[in-house]
Structure 1
C-alpha cells in the first residue's frame, strides 16, 4: 500500500485540526493530498492568520474543490484512506447520502467504496436525530466518526495540548507514528 493519505478540510469551526494534521504529516514520509471546501477558506481567514497558500503549502499536493477529475476521485489512485478534519455536518450529510457534487465528497465516497479508512472529525453540537442517523449510516458503510473531544485525563495545559491529543488519536487510527500524545499507561 502506498504511503498516501487524502486530507479534506470542510467549513466547520476547528480548522486547526486539519492544519495540525498536515503539519505532523509533513514531517513523515506520507504523501498528503489536500482538498479544501470553499467554506473552509472562510473559516481559515476567520480562525487563523494563515493565507490559503500557507495552508496548501503544508500538503504534498492540493486540489481545487471543483477538480472532480483529480486523481483522488478515482479508486485506482491507491491511498491508505482519508481524514476530513474538521468535518461539517453539511459535508458529512452529503457523504452519507452518496452525493458527490465536489471533490471533497467524491474523494470520501471513493474511500468508502474502495474499503479504505474514512475518518470524519465531526464538529457540531448539539446534534439532532437527522445528524445522528447520517452518522449511523456512515458507520454502517465503514466510516469512522471521530469528533475532536478533549481528554482531560492528560491534564492539558493549553489549547495546543488539546488539539494535539485529538490529532494524535486520528493518526493512531491509521497506525501513523507520532509524538503528539502518549499511550495511556493505566493508573
Structure 2
C-alpha cells in the first residue's frame, strides 16, 4: 500500500473526480494535477460553473431533458415537429441525436430501460407520462430510439404494446452497417440486422 503523497483536500478532489464516468483513479489524479497547475484559469471558472449548474439546472417536466428552463429549450422550440416524438433511454441519448441534427422532432426521456434482473419495472420509467402525451392526439409518429440491447428491445416491445390502441405510428431506428464500416470488423448480430433491413440501391 503506497503512502499518501498529498493532503486530504487533494485526495478528496481525486476521489470525487474518480467517480465520474470514464475516469479511474489514475485519470482522476492527472485531472486533479492539471486543475491544480491551472488553478487560476480553470479552478475558479469551473467552481463557479458547477455552483450555477447545481442551483439552476432542472429536469424538464414535459420531456425529461435537463436544462435551466422548464419546459426545456427543445420543448419551447416552435420550429420542431410536434407530431413526431423520439423516445430515448437517457438524456445522453437525446444529446447524441441532437448532435446528429438528423430531424427536428420532440423527445421523451424514459430514464432507463426495463430490466427485470435489476428490478426495473414499468413504474420506474417515464412510461405513464409517455402514454399521456400520446393520448392527447397531436403525436402521429413515435420513434423508438433505444439501444440495440436485450433490455432496450424489451422496452421497445413494451412501448409498442402500450401505444397499440392509440392512432399513432410506431417506428424504430434502423440497425445495421454503420457509415464507414467494414464488414469484416462487424459482429454477426449487426450483419444479420443489416441483411434483414436491406433496401433498394
Q: TM-score range by the shorter chain?
A: 0.3 to 0.5
Rg larger in structure? 2
Q: What's the TM-score once normalised by structure 1's chain length?
A: 0.34
Bigger share in helix:
2
Q: Which has the higher contact order (CA 8 A, sep 6+)?
A: 1
